[in-house]
Amino acid sequence: MYTLYIGNKNYSTWSLRSWVLMRAAGIRFREQRLLLDQADTSARIRAHSPSSKVPCLHDGTVVVWDTMAIAEYLAERHPGLWPADSEARAWARSAAAEMHSGFANLRNEFGMNLRVHDPREPSPTVASEIERIKEIWGEGRRRFGGSGNFLCGAFGIVDAFYCPVAFRFRSYGVALTGVCAAYQAQLIALSAMQEWAADAARETEQIPKYDSLAQGHQR
């Protein structure tokens, strides 16, 4: 069985991507939570992850770190995580990669904290990134969504990469309409997302610097 090492559920967006993908796809795994921002955090994560970051996936003697690498490793072993159609698959890979490597201003200004309910006006740079995300969501639903509820029809890797954005937009009151609002609602309504949120609500750890900033020790 896989073992997935993750950080605090209230704060760890990178961990959420891998966790929700596996849970929603019905992939069995053992969860190991490693608390962030503790005196021994780096050493404890380093014992399991070569990059000293979470998430990290163990499959027997195989160790896979970084969310994109984990997603690709799982896709090789569990069909359906990427779209079957080659054009849709190329688009989904591009959209997931853009989320993985971009939107730094959004991460910094609208750090994930599920305890936060603080509608706020984004800075111009964050507003621009929000518009780009809305473009991606609209294009995916229009071109590839079909009769399904997600960007390329069925839930997959590309949707998992945008799950933290759905939580962030809710926390900070980002206004959405039409297909984007419907897509955000579908992500948040996922049983895996609801389970993650419930687990986060039971956490007692507080990390002040993460209450307003993006997470560290994650990738």
Would you write out the chain's pLDDT as a tens digit for each of its 219 residues? 999 999 999 999 999 999 999 999 999 999 999 988 777 888 999 999 999 999 999 999 999 999 999 999 999 999 999 999 999 999 999 999 999 999 999 999 999 999 999 999 999 999 999 999 999 999 999 999 999 999 999 999 999 999 999 999 999 999 999 999 999 999 999 999 999 999 999 999 887 766 654 443 445
- Whether 57 and 4 have beta carbons less than 8 Å apart is answered as yes
Cβ-based neighbours of 43, under 8 Å, separated by 6 or more: none
- Whether 57 and 2 have beta carbons less than 8 Å apart is answered as yes
Tokens encoding 149: 């509820």
SS (HEC) of 127-185: HHHHHHHHHHHHHHHHHHCCCCCECCECCCHHHHHHHHHHHHHHHCCCCCCHHHHHHHH
Q: Where are the beta strands (DSSP E) in 17-55?
A: 29-33
Question: Cβ of 147: how many Cβ atoms within 10 Å?
Answer: 5
Q: Going from the N-terminus, what domains does the chain have, and what CATH number goes with each?
A: 2-79 (3.40.30.10), 86-195 (1.20.1050)
- Whether 18 and 46 have beta carbons less than 8 Å apart is answered as no
